[in-house]
Amino acid sequence: MQNLWQRLKPAYKKKILSNKEFYPHSIRIIRANFISKTFWSDLTVDTVRQTFSFTHNNLTDVSINDLMYGSSILKPLNKKL
């Protein structure tokens, strides 16, 4: 099963990594959290907040589905039957 970093859409991954020069510690923590987790619900509220901040999304413009499930920034889960 893919981790969250692998499921992150390329455009959002690029936005997060573009902040690495100015916020290396924060970006390293976000990336580590995404690599170590498989499900969006395993992330902390702070990691979700930072993710939307570093992808240049205003939290007031983010839908409840995005906050709860990461639906706009994650690729769909590949389910093998």
What does the pLDDT look like over 50-64, one tens digit per residue?
999 998 777 788 889
What pLDDT does 59 receive?
A: 75
Chain-centroid distance, C-alpha 60: 17
13, pLDDT greater than 60: yes
Tell me the residue range of the domain where 39 lies. Answer: 4-69
* In a domain? residue 76: no
Question: What's the average model confidence in pLDDT over 1-9?
Answer: 94
Task: Classify the phi-psi angles of 70: left when phi > 0, otherwise alpha if psi is within -120 to 50, otherwise beta.
Answer: left
Instruction: Name the CA radius of gyration of the chain, rounded.
Output: 12
- In the chain, how many domains are there? 1
Q: Per the domain annotation, does 15 fall within a domain?
A: yes
pLDDT tens profile 30-52: 999 999 999 999 999 999 999 99
- Could you tell me if residue 81 is inside a domain? no
For the segment 52-79, the average pLDDT, to the nearest whole number, is 86
Does residue 65 sit within a domain?
A: yes
pLDDT at 60: 80
